[in-house]
């Protein structure tokens, strides 16, 4: 029996004596596959197929329960088969934050609710989130290596010697090391416009793709949201909501920063580190996995990175800063002109 047959057998056993049909949904940047289960009654559910060994549903199930208990709206898990990687979930619909904005929804209520749920997540006790993976110096180095190992050689077409790569990773890790000294909280890790859903019932937002949550810096999820790789918000708006979030933090977390200006500057540093990682992931998806549609996500992220490097003009060695700016500028100039991925 192949995987498709096992999935169908499990689903029919889970919904016995009931007619239903499946509608394939767009995938994400993983090996997971999603379908919408449409029941005779018209009710819909989401079927997740997370094939082992590439995927493990246990972190998803654990984080879903922990976040939901904290007041974050994660999808209810209606049925599960951990060993096979099959889950049946509550359906939040198709309307992401990004799509809602495209259709004219007002941004302010979305931001209010996102910040409320982010604060709820950060209130998760340390006894819970300290069991999660840590956002430490080794993780920063690993994430920066996505940029050196995938974007530079295969997309920007800039080959590095082993020595230059090693020095570059050391410099980047040093630049972002202050993030590891910030107060640690529960961090979603991908808290952005494609992982926040607007159900047909309205707010609160549905939160998805949380299985990679970490114990990380207090600035991280807000940086993911305000400096979203898929959105271009005006800097004054980012600053306004950044300060609003800061002033709503518990005093113990506020005390780690000199003032709100210092907080916002560290938020921007967090965004810069995230953009190195994101560009590397998009490049890897395009080159290694053949998902060339992710090339289209790189230009806006490059623009974000350029803006942040202007803020932190002296934060890294001049030669490294020049290489980063030149590689992103070169990509932006050539993108759209029959760009192909080098082998």
The per-residue pLDDT for range 313-323, each reduced to its tens digit, is: 899 999 999 99
More confident residue, 335 or 5: 5
pLDDT band at 342 (very low <50, low <70, confident <90, very high): very low
Please check the confidence at residue 245 and state whether its pLDDT lies above 90. yes
Output the pTM of the full model: 0.93
Other Cβ atoms closer than 10 A to 312: 14
Picking from 307, 265, 306, 280, the residue whose alpha carbon sits closest to that of residue 179 is: 265
Cβ–Cβ under 8 Å, residues 221 and 188:
yes
Taking the C-alpha atoms of residue 287 and residue 21, their distance in angstroms, rounded to an integer, is: 34
Q: What does the pLDDT look like over 44-91, one tens digit per residue?
A: 999 999 999 999 999 999 999 999 999 999 999 999 999 999 999 999
pLDDT of 2 reads 94
Other Cβ atoms closer than 10 A to 154: 18
pLDDT of 333 reads 86
Q: Average of pLDDT values for 20-27? A: 88
More confident residue, 334 or 310: 310
Taking the C-alpha atoms of residue 67 and residue 59, their distance in angstroms, rounded to an integer, is: 12
Sign of the alpha-carbon dihedral angle for 61, 67, 69, 75? negative
- 43 alpha carbon, distance to own chain's centre: 29
Give the relative orientation of helices 298-311 and 318-334 as an angle to the nearest 10 degrees: 150
User: Which domains are seen in the chain, by residue range?
Assistant: 3-90 (3.30.200.20), 97-334 (3.90.1200.10)
Question: Of how many residues is the chain composed?
Answer: 343
pLDDT band at 336 (very low <50, low <70, confident <90, very high): low
pLDDT of 17 reads 87
- Torsion of Cα atoms, 106 then 109 then 114 then 117, to 10°: -160
More confident residue, 335 or 153: 153
- 331 alpha carbon, distance to own chain's centre: 23
Q: What does the pLDDT look like over 222-231, one tens digit per residue?
A: 999 999 999 9
Q: What does the pLDDT look like over 130-168, one tens digit per residue?
A: 999 999 999 999 999 999 999 999 999 999 999 999 999
* Lookup: tokens for 173: 């890790």
Average pLDDT, the chain: 94
Angle among Cα 72, 74, 75 to the nearest 5 degrees reads: 155
Taking the C-alpha atoms of residue 318 and residue 306, their distance in angstroms, rounded to an integer, is: 14
Cβ–Cβ under 8 Å, residues 81 and 10:
yes
Q: Which residues pair with 2 in a beta bridge?
A: none
Cβ–Cβ under 8 Å, residues 157 and 287:
no
């Amino acid at each position: 029996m192949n995987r498709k047959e096992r999935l169908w057998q499990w689903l029919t056993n889970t919904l016995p004596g009931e007619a239903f049909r499946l509608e394939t949904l767009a995938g994400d940047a993983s090996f997971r596959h999603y379908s919408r289960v449409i029941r005779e009654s018209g009710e819909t559910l989401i079927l997740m197929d997370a094939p082992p060994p590439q995927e493990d549903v246990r972190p998803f199930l654990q984080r879903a329960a922990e976040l939901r208990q904290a007041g974050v709206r994660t999808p209810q898990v209606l049925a599960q088969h951990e060993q096979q990687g099959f889950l049946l979930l509550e359906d939040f619909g198709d309307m992401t934050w990004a799509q809602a904005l495209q259709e004219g929804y007002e941004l302010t209520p979305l931001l209010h609710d996102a910040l409320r749920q982010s604060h709820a997540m950060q209130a998760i006790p340390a006894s819970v989130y300290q069991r999660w993976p840590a956002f430490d110096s080794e993780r920063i180095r690993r994430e920066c290596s996505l940029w050196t190992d995938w974007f530079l050689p295969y997309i920007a077409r800039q080959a590095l010697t082993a020595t230059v790569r090693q020095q570059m990773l050391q410099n980047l890790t040093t630049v972002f090391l202050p993030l590891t000294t910030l107060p640690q909280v529960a961090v979603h890790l991908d808290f952005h416009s494609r992982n926040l859903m607007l159900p047909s019932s309205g707010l609160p937002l549905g939160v998805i793709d949380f299985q990679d949550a970490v114990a990380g810096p207090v600035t991280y999820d807000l940086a993911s949201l305000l400096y979203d790789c898929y959105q271009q918000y005006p800097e004054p708006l980012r600053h306004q909501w950044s300060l609003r979030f800061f002033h709503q933090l518990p005093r113990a977390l506020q005390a780690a920063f000199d003032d709100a200006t210092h907080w916002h500057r560290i938020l921007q540093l967090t965004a810069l580190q995230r953009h190195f990682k994101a560009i590397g992931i998009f490049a890897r998806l395009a080159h290694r996995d053949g998902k060339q549609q992710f090339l289209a996500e790189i230009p806006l992220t490059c623009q974000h990175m350029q803006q942040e490097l202007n803020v932190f003009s002296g934060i890294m060695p001049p030669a490294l800063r020049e290489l980063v700016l030149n590689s992103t500028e070169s990509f932006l100039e050539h993108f759209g002109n029959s760009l192909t991925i080098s082998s």
